[in-house]
């Protein structure tokens, strides 16, 4: 792993640590949910004392950039979470019908994202998207569909736009909708053919991005997300 951290100058050490971590988040070098190195290792990478590092982490946690989990470590938070999603969470918990509107928002963002991904993706981006696709394919061979691998695929596409705000906002939507979409996936896998339909849809999206075919990539993503939405609504009608 490349060392993305820079040695810190002696003056205003905690403030410089905070600024560096914020810059790494903005540049997409530290991603939502990513775990920072252990305290001792991170202090060495930055060339600072552990007390200064702890002070900086406290500042970052207060600002909402990181989350400190006891006995687990320090994790990068989605920067959009404190901006818009806490009030939204309360609203949707009271009215579940709003989840369809949240999914509609996700579609709007992802269609634009897929279009830009096909234009801006690098070889490294393609490797990341393909790796997620291969995990999904291995999963499908065992008649399983992992929501984690599915979102890994979609986020890899999002990261290929090199727009850190897109990544953080979509990550937050995924995190918020995880419980609900998990139920959709459970229903989907009851029909094994659905697993391979989803896999095929993802393969075609990847191929369009690989070819830099922006229009096809966007259209294929629209078809995929609309198909999932229709299945979701179908399950809802059967439940009533």
pLDDT digits (tens, 9 = 90+) for 122-134: 999 999 999 999 9
- pLDDT of 61: 87
Is pLDDT above 90 for 91?
no
Contacts (Cβ under 8 Å, ≥6 apart) of 5: 20, 24, 42, 45, 46
Task: For residue 227, give the H/E element and its range.
Answer: helix 214-239
Complete domains list, the chain, with CATH: 13-76 (1.10.10.10), 81-239 (1.20.120.530)
What are the Cα distances from residue 56, in Å, to 13, 21, 199?
8, 9, 43
Averaged pLDDT for residues 1-8: 71
pLDDT tens for each residue of 97-116 = 667 888 898 999 999 999 99
Residue 111 token pair: 């269609």
Q: What is residue 10's DSSP assignment?
A: S
Is pLDDT above 90 for 162?
yes
pLDDT tens for each residue of 62-75 = 888 888 988 899 99
Q: What are phi and psi of 67, to 5 degrees?
A: -125, 125
Question: 208, 216 in Cβ contact below 8 A?
Answer: yes
- Please report, rounded to a whole number, the percentage of residues in the chain having pLDDT higher than 90: 46
């Amino acid at each position: 792993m490349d060392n993305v951290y820079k040695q810190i100058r002696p003056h205003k050490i905690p403030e410089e640590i905070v600024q560096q971590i914020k810059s790494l988040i903005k540049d997409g070098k530290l991603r939502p949910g990513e775990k920072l190195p252990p305290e001792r290792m991170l202090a060495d990478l930055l060339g600072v004392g552990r007390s200064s590092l702890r002070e900086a982490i406290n500042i970052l946690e207060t600002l909402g950039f990181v989350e400190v989990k006891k006995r687990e470590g320090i994790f990068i938070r989605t920067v959009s979470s404190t901006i818009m999603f806490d009030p939204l969470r309360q609203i949707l918990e009271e009215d579940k019908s709003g989840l369809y509107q949240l999914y509609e928002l996700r579609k709007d963002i992802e269609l634009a994202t897929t279009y830009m991904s096909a234009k801006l993706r690098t070889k490294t981006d393609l490797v990341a998207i393909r790796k997620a696709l291969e995990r999904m394919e291995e999963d499908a061979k065992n008649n399983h569909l992992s929501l984690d691998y599915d979102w890994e695929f979609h986020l890899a596409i999002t990261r290929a736009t090199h727009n850190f705000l897109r990544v953080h906002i979509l990550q937050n939507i995924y995190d918020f909708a995880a419980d609900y979409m998990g139920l959709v996936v459970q229903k989907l896998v009851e029909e094994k053919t659905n697993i391979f339909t989803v896999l095929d849809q993802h393969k075609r999206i990847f191929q369009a991005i690989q070819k830099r075919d922006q229009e096809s990539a966007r259209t294929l993503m629209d078809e995929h997300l609309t198909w999932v939405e229709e299945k979701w609504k179908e399950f809802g009608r059967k439940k009533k």
